[in-house]
Structure 1
Amino acid sequence: MGNERAGEVAGADAIDARLAARLAELRTERGWSLGELAERSGVSRSTLSRAERAEISPTAALLNRLCGVYGRTMSRLLSEVEAEPVQVVRAAEQRIWEDRASGFVRRSVSPPDAGLRGELVEGRLAAGADIAYDRPPVPGLEQHIWVLDGALEVTAQGATHELAAGDCLRLRVWGPTRFRSPGPEEARYVLAVILP
Structure 2
Amino acid sequence: MIHKVERGESSPTANLLGKLSGAFGLSMSALLARVENGHGRLLKKADQSLWTDPATGYLRRHVSPQSDLPLDVVHITLPAGKEVAMPASAYLFLRQLIWVLEGELVFIEGQLRHAIHAGDCLELGPPMDCVFKNETAQPCTYAVVLLNISH
TM-score category, normalised to shorter length: over 0.9
Work out whether 1:145 is the aligned partner of 2:98: yes
Work out whether 1:51 is the aligned partner of 2:5: yes
* Structure 2 gap segments, 5+ residues each: none
User: 2:46, 2:36 → 1: CA distance?
Assistant: 16
Match of 1:75, SS? Answer: helix
Q: Which moved more, 1:88-97 or 1:160-169?
A: 88-97
Aligned equivalent of 2:80: 127
Work out whether 1:179 is the aligned partner of 2:122: no
Structure 1 ranges of 4+ moved more than 6 A: none
TM-score (norm. length: structure 1): 0.72
TM-score (norm. length: structure 2): 0.92
For residue 168 of structure 1, the aligned residue among 103, 117, 121 is 121
Given residue 55 of structure 1, which amino acid in structure 2 is its aligned partner? E
For residue 107 of structure 1, the aligned residue among 61, 65, 70 is 61
Question: What is the correspondence of 1:16-165 to structure 2 with a 5 Å cutoff?
Answer: 47-113=1-67, 115-165=68-118
Larger Rg: 1
Given residue 178 of structure 1, which amino acid in structure 2 is its aligned partner? V
User: 1:97, 1:158 → 2: CA distance?
Assistant: 29
Deviations 1:78-137 (A, max 9, x none): 111122521101112211110131120001110123x32111100110010111112242
User: 2:9, 2:126 → 1: CA distance?
Assistant: 31
User: 1:124, 1:173 → 2: CA distance?
Assistant: 24
CA RMSD of aligned residues (A): 1.4
User: Shift of residue 64 of structure 1?
Assistant: 0.7
User: 1:81, 1:87 → 2: CA distance?
Assistant: 18
Deviations 1:133-174 (A, max 9, x none): 122424042111110111000011421100111111011441
Highest RCO, 1 vs 2 (Cα 8 Å, sep ≥ 6): 2
Asked if the contact 1:140–1:173 (Cα under 8 Å) also holds between the matched residues in 2, the reply is no
Tell me the matched-pair count. 149
* Structure 1 gap segments, 5+ residues each: 1-46
Identity %: 35
User: 2:57, 2:33 → 1: CA distance?
Assistant: 22
Given residue 13 of structure 2, which amino acid in structure 1 is its aligned partner? T
